[in-house]
Amino acid sequence: MSSTFRTGVKKLIPTGIFRWIEPFGHLVEAVLVNVWYGFPARGLHVIGVTGTNGKTTTTFMIHRMLVEAGYNVALMSTVANGLNNSIVMQEQHMTTVSSPQLLRHIKQFKKQGAKWLVLETTSHALAQHRVWGVPYEIAVMTNITHEHLDYHGTFKRYLAAKVKLFKIANKHGRRFGVVNADDEHAGEFAKQIKRSVSYGINGGDLRATNIQLTGEGSTYMVNMKGKLQEIRCHIPGEFNVSNSLAAVAVGLELELTPLQIISGIAALDGVEGRMATIDAGQEFSVIVDFAHTPDSFERLLGDLRTSTKGKLVVLFGSAGRRDESKRAIQGGIAGKYADEVIVTEEDDRDVDGNQIMQQIATGAEAAGKVKDQNLFLILDRPTAIDFAVTRVSGPDDTLVLLGKGHEKTIERADGEHPWDEAGEVRRALAAVVKR
């Protein structure tokens, strides 16, 4: 079913009815495409990663660890896809692509010798049956918070979609799950699968202790096979300690040695748009991240507040045609942690961007921020970035830009436009550095 055809049908059918029947259309499409391609995922060992936050980074960590251990392993994620070290950037403005695209990639990966696939898997892909025919045998859950309720309607339905990954994995191969013990919903996932292991910072079968956080990453200790081992992660943030623990759990299930796990985690230097640092010769720190949920805001900005000795400035927006209730919450969290808040567009789509900014500002003002003093509303994102880089100066200051991360387009009322967050930041910094 082409996207053009689907869009045409959607306009003719009431939204509520379309959302009910849409998954069946995707299911038919997935079945037909699997038959057409000869069920290309059969014979692959598939590791699925789902959750609200951390999916992409965890997917990359697992993939890098397995590549370093000598596995022939493909990767498909929000950011990129490819086999082993041949990774190319993903241009689609979605996480799990359509069934035809997914299966074409899988068929090509197998042709190139792939034995394993690490697949970032969204609630949309699971609810819409886009991954039908993919034999997941290891399922990984990062965390579950309120997100995509504009599509799912209720948190209960959103959770049910995520849990579906574990139900699928319980039918294939190892039937093994990895769950985050620090998340209150971990039990919902664990009970759906034959075997599981939990990980966490506050509890779990695999628990991080003696955590040391820096601007360049973290180190911590974890018990592997009866012996405490030091893990070094090169992606900053306590939440990435948690993500790397999930990768450790997968490595232990596959009987990798502690050395293979340690070196595999350490081998990943970063993921585009995930706590990515931008250095254009400026004195202050600049970070670009994809964070776009209240939970990810809380974790990321909380960590940065602790590590930033000087001024902390945050720039972000909130997408149109997405959960409106989170906008004021995001503003409140930003207002709580940052010294200055700059609100701008994200992907406004056909929604009035000024309205979105005002909703965000309501939360920031409730947290004590004042417009035109430490709260600024600038709709055009390039202009907002130009302004943001002038609000920090000293070596202890940090500017963080949230919401777009790796994405290569920005969606406005007149359609999608090319976008490069890191490139826009470098452009703005060039003017500052010249002064």
> Higher-confidence residue: 171 or 2?
171
Instruction: In the chain, count H helices and then E strands.
Output: 15, 20
Report the pLDDT value the prediction gives residue 92, as an integer from 0 to 100. 54
Give mean pLDDT, residues 58-87.
94
Q: Are 238 and 201 in contact (CB under 8 A)?
A: yes
- For the chain, what is the domain count? 2
> Higher-confidence residue: 154 or 297?
297
The pLDDT tens digits for 161-209 are 899 999 999 999 999 999 999 999 999 999 999 999 999 999 999 999 9
* Cα atoms found within 13 Å of the Cα of residue 264, Cβ hemisphere only: 30
Element (H, E) at 81: strand 80-83
The pLDDT tens digits for 230-248 are 999 999 888 899 999 999 9
The pLDDT tens digits for 334-356 are 999 999 999 999 999 999 999 99
Give mean pLDDT, residues 363-392.
97
pTM here is 0.81
Please give the share of the chain, as a percent, with pLDDT higher than 70: 90
Same domain membership, residue 192 and residue 57: yes
Same domain membership, residue 220 and residue 188: yes
38 part of a folded domain: yes
Give mean pLDDT, residues 379-398.
96
349 part of a folded domain: yes
Give mean pLDDT, residues 411-419.
92
271 part of a folded domain: no
Cα–Cα distance for residue pair 290/244, rounded to 1 Å: 18
Report the pLDDT value the prediction gives residue 118, as an integer from 0 to 100. 98
What one-letter code names the amino acid at 86? Answer: S
Give mean pLDDT, residues 61-73.
97
Same domain membership, residue 182 and residue 281: no
Cα–Cα distance for residue pair 243/180, rounded to 1 Å: 9
Provide the pLDDT confidence category of residue 5 given band limits of 50, 70 and 90. very low
Report the pLDDT value the prediction gives residue 216, as an integer from 0 to 100. 80
Same domain membership, residue 286 and residue 259: no
